[in-house]
Amino acid sequence: DPLDLIVMDMEKVGKSPAAQLRETRAALAWSGLSAVLLVPEGFEGLERFLEDHEGSDYLVKPASVGAIADLVEATLKRRHLV
């Protein structure tokens, strides 16, 4: 079965958060996959960046398993994948 959605656990690394998110968005657009992003606290400007790029499927870590499952389910339903 093909993949419909991936859950990505992002970490703070040498790149800026905006650069990481731009690269992730480009890769997902190319692949056609939907994603739920788990992002660390302290990503400066995250909400504005995601708003500008129409990103709504993310949680700030730490996130509970239940919250992640709820967001995955909502994302799949909204994108008509279930």
> One-letter amino acid identity for 39?
V
**Domain ranges, residue 20:** 5-78
Q: How far apart are CA 49 and CA 4, in angstroms?
A: 24
For the chain, how many structural domains are there in total? 1
- CATH number for the domain that contains residue 49: 3.40.50.2300
Q: How far apart are CA 33 and CA 39, in angstroms?
A: 18
**How confident is the model over 44-66, as pLDDT tens digits?**
677 777 777 667 788 988 999 99
**How confident is the model over 16-25, as pLDDT tens digits?**
777 877 888 8
pTM over 0.85: no
